[in-house]
Structure 1
Amino acid sequence: MRHEEVVLGRQPVLDGSGALVAYELLFRKSDDDGPAANFERPLDEMRASSQVMAGALVDIGLSDSLGPHFGYVNTDHSLLMDDVVNVLPPDRFVLEVLETTTVDAALRDRLAELRALGYSLALDDVASLDDPRLALLPLVDIVKVDVLLAGAHGSARLAGELAGSGKTLLAEKVETAEQFEAARNDGFELFQGFFFAQPQLLRTRRPIASSDAILRLLTLLEQDCGLDVLADELRRHPDLATRLLRLVRSGAAGIRHTVDSIPAAIQLVGTRQISRWAQLLLYSCDNQRPARRDPLVQQVGTRARTMELVAADWRPDDERLGAQAFMTGMLSKVDALFGMPLAEALKDLPLAAPIRAALLERDGRLGALLQLCEARERLDEGAIRRSCRELGGIGLAAVARAEASAAAWTLSISGAGIDDA
């Protein structure tokens, strides 16, 4: 499976005492470690902001990208009007209305809706009192003034005019001690700029998602296909299923629970939020090869299904064990899937304790099932027999049947509905 590096920039937002209160999350234009010019405004704001949101929520995670602080995210007219922005938890993010945003009645209504949902809103890069976005002042909480562009006189005038508005004033692009002191004297409460810190780079790796797979998932969601069909679709794509678990962990769905199966994750997040998340991934991804051409996806699917079938044969009355076995198998190669050590790949996943123990320590019933599948893949007859004994004497023939059935199942579902062209 091919991987790509996720690079996210973040720049601190400080109060007048120098205490950290938030980070602005920034689109990274290139992979090098050059100067801040690489954070310049992208040509495609929608895609850039989607990549930032996906990076913060799913790839890097909120704990590593923001810690306990708020995150500021750039949003243009298209993104603000799109339901996908609602994937961001309102208690963690401030939506910045960019200077390129057209002010119209639809935008006003949408900002009022977002505000009612609990989002904090900011006007970004305000540099003069002629800015048409100041008509949105009753709907926003924060005004970010570009002190570099506005100049000392313009910044002071803006601060004076906005002083009685009840809005928090943030001085951005502060580059010198003199600018900081002047802004503080003008009444600004929050500060951001190179004088305090240049953007810091956050990096991780992720599997490159197939837009075909995401489109199929969105189609099923639009058709209101039901829990079982949706769970089966996610079974076909362990990379998407794993990223869904990270969404659960991020609290983007308003919940913070452990899960032990794909259906449980779907029920916790809800189809509306999954649809938003899938749109976010689609906006930020490039088209890649389908699952049937990826040997890692084939191996993971076969292993997970084998574990599920063996569990059903071993404990036919325990449906939960089968669901847990599938999830354990699906996540057992997540290190290869995401190109990082297993413990690191699992640390942000909200896994039930038996699944985590099986993956990290090969412990418990799930650990025994996993060891059996690994022994089969290595053709280690001694280890296979030991695992069968540990599982209560399950027969070798039953395991072979389960594996053959699992291989056929994986081939059938990884090809269904996907164009090989």
Structure 2
Amino acid sequence: MDIFVARQPIFNKNLAVIAYELLYRDSDKNYFNTSVASNIATAILLMNSYFHFGIDHLVGESTAFINFDARLIHSDIPQLLSTKNVVIEILEDVKPEPHTLEKLERLRRDGYTIAIDDFVLDYPYHEILNLTQIIKVDFLSNSRDDIKKICFKYRKQGKLLLAEKVETHEDFEWAKKLGFDYFQGYFFARPHMIKSKDLTGSSSQFLRLFDALQESEPDFKKITRIIEIDVFLTYKLLRIVNSSFSLGTQIASVHQALSILGIDAFSKWLSLASLQSLSKSYATELVKTAMIRSKFLEYMAFHAASLEGHEDELALMGILSVIDVLLQEPMTEVVKNLPLTPDVKKTFLGEENLYLYPYQLCLAYEQGDFSKLEAYADMIEYDLHQLSLDYIDAVKWAEGLFQYMNDLDNEFVYSN
């Protein structure tokens, strides 16, 4: 049985990530209809996979929100988890049976934080609600009037309110004004401004460099000159190619780095560094998302028969998948100004081609839309047994690299 584990960020009002909800499902479509015994067996399998992946790799120093139904609560699985970095998220259909309430009361006494999932105004189980500290308000299932009533009523009771399934920045801003504490959804990964972002400094260099690197025969001297006029980018890139993430060779100049690493390898690191510089005023989670997608798609290409030899293009596609948000322009406009291959452009426009299905598989997994995984995987001859492993490896790689690049930022600031 396959276990799929993904994560979805939860933000505070300042768009800082404070937690991740772990989205998981096994490949058995009848999981929620099995007997108690098989349900507990599946729960044990789930938790073994959870511990195998490692919560530190999935959420780092953040908190993990994990869903539990009544039978999982009865199995005492929650007690295996830490009170410090786990929120017990109760599904909305859990009923206040005496045994269930007893288990929840014990969790509260033991110091666990409890949240109620997919909350709506007419939620009937007040006994459970009284035991929760966090209410996750479903923005798709409640009207705006109902959301206002929920906010007004439960803020007075001292509950923390989390707006979930927030799909647009307009909804995020509205929820913030209402007084919501936390926010969840893919609003942060969509453009929300009509006016395009003004690019300065390293941000504008990214487009120049990308254009130069995509030429049929890239000019080393031209690329070197572009990099060298940006002291911060030069410093970061030279340190990266000297780091444990590269060849371990001491690099004395940008030109030497290009010569030793080659255009393909250098282009990958350049894209990452430039992407980070574009995001200085934006949620850092967006950069992590791009890094994870890039490595996830690259791993996918390694393991999918139909994608052999396409690793570099898929990795680049992952990095560029958030460029529309960073530039605050529709992707249809962004791709017009970038020298991308026809298949990459078609993918971003949702048109049929070789890269569309791995890209859709990546997005579906990321968003917990697990029902579509098998169909997309079949289209690219990809073994679903590999999917969670590739995703977790991509998360670990992205988190490590992101931390390293942030350390370089701080080192650069302090040394000047």
Q: TM-score, normalised by structure 1?
A: 0.41
User: Larger C-alpha radius of gyration, 1 or 2?
Assistant: 1
